[in-house]
Amino acid sequence: MAESNGVLTQKIKDTNLFFALIIGLCVAVSIVFHLRISVPVLFSVLISVAILVRLSWCVQQDGSAIVVTILSLVYALPFIHIIPYIWFDYSDSPAFFWGLQSNPYMFDKLIIELTALIGAAGLIGIYVGREMYIRKKLLTTTASYEPSSKVKRTLSMGVWLMWMVPSVLLSWATAPRETMFTTVYTGSESVLSSANFSSSWMVSYVLLTFGIVDAHRERSKVLRFQKGIISVGVLLYVVVWLQLFRGDRESLPWVIGLLFYALVVRREHGPKPAGVNIRVILGATIGLAAVGAVAYVVGVVRSLFAGLTVDEAYEVWLALGESDVFRLTNFISGTWSAVLLTPLSVAGDYIREPFTFKYGNDYVNLLFSLPPGFVADWFGYVRPLSGSSGPAFDMRFGIGGTHATVVPFRNFGILGVISVQALWSYLITGTQVRSHGNRSVISATLIISLIMAGPHWLWYGEKSLINVFVIWFISSYLYSFAGRINPTRPRDS
């Protein structure tokens, strides 16, 4: 243990210079924001790229930053549209920009510079939070790195099926009723659409994740094979038939979480986190690119195939292939493009309009909005944040949702952006480190669930993050109870 602590101490000493530089950037960014000093876009972009590269280096070294790095990429994706502003001529005002209809804020140099700075500030906070956890915890104990000696039990086949069947039924109930070949995507509702339970899809995926990871952790070769075959069938049914064929893409972050598990989590072993090798990183990159391509294609065709025969749909597909719709440059635009409108909105309002900070009021409203919609309806309670109210409806430009920087900025300015991102980075790094070496189904499911909720949380609001924690917490107790139903089952170590 002393030797391990010595290695960790040396690693931290080796990063002191970079960490000191980041802390200096925190102070500098706060000062220039307070003094309203303009910061060139190039400077903010270079900071963002440096931090993402540094996090990637940390992943390769010890693996402890991999979840934070994945979420950082999701966080940073909308800001990909900031890069061209390095050489942009602000006198040019095209009708469409970022793949969207343009607005005046897109061509205001001061607004763009502040938007870029906000994005960089959040990444600074993410790195600071990760480093703070590593420095505080890992120098004092190696317990977080030690594999759990607690013996685990997987579910018996009968109990496992009883777990999976209602989970699949819930996925069916939350999916659009019609496929994109029979009706336009936006014209199809789910069975539960009137139940006011917007996070029901998340419940189904968390429950299914417990079942899929349980199948992988099964010790009996016969049962592992049987559970594995059923799990693959369930995965294809939910992702392909209930989601993609209906023009829905809610399941794709879940697929990314499962991909992460397949490539990284199941490989973890030993007294401390192993670094992630280049082959794993390459495999993850290819997988992410494939998922991104599928998401883009589904987004393009889901409103074009309604009412068409197979032959007609094929003709439309050929026509799309001959057009410039599938050009590589088009793949940089997507849902994230609209998400960037929200930090652009608060940055523009801060510069152009009278701007009053809310000093935590949004977080108070978040606290009072935690009860699920159907529970609030039972008691006649109107939540401050719902499908028809909240920060997203205050945005000057936007198409729903808010980027993770928006609420912190609205409440506490640039320092709030740094602090809030540092807090969640600290907590998530701790979650991964504590889960490392603990080969339980419950532990692995939490990591997958966090990745699954990433885009919804980072692009639509913090409530998704809280929801996934609550859902996982309740599901973990249900899973533990289910594991005790058949005490004669062999234990999974």
pLDDT digits (tens, 9 = 90+) for 101-159: 899 999 999 999 999 999 999 999 999 999 888 877 655 554 444 444 444 678 889 99
- C-beta separation of 100 from 341 below 8 A: yes
How many Å separate Cα 339 from the centre of its chain?
A: 13
Radius of gyration of the chain measured on its C-alpha atoms:
23
Give the 3-state DSSP-derived string for 388-437, with helices as H, strands as E and coil as C.
CECHHHHCCCCCCCCCCCHHHHHHHHHHHHHHHHHHHHHHHHHHHHHHCC
Q: How confident is the model at residue 372 (pLDDT cuts 50, 70, 90)?
A: confident
| Percent composition of the chain: helix, strand, coil (DSSP 3-state, to 5) | 70, 0, 30
Provide the β-strand partners of residue 491: 153
DSSP string, 435-472: HTT---HHHHHHHHHHHHHHHHHHHH-THHHHHHHHHH
Longest dimension (CA), the chain: 74
**pLDDT grade, residue 179 (50/70/90)?**
confident
Q: In the chain, pLDDT over 70 holds for what percent of residues?
A: 82
DSSP for 338-388, please give it.
HHHHHHHHHHHHHHHS-----TTHHHHHHHTT-S-HHHHHHTT---SSBTT
Amino acid at the residue 419: S
* DSSP 8-state secondary structure symbol assigned to residue 263: H
Q: Note whether 70 and 448 are within 8 A (CB).
A: no
Reported confidence tier of residue 233, pLDDT bands at 50, 70, 90: very high
- pLDDT for residue 98: 87
Q: Indicate whether 347 pLDDT > 90.
A: yes
pLDDT of residue 85: 94
Q: Which of 145-154, 259-268, 403-412, 445-454 has the lowest mean pLDDT?
A: 145-154
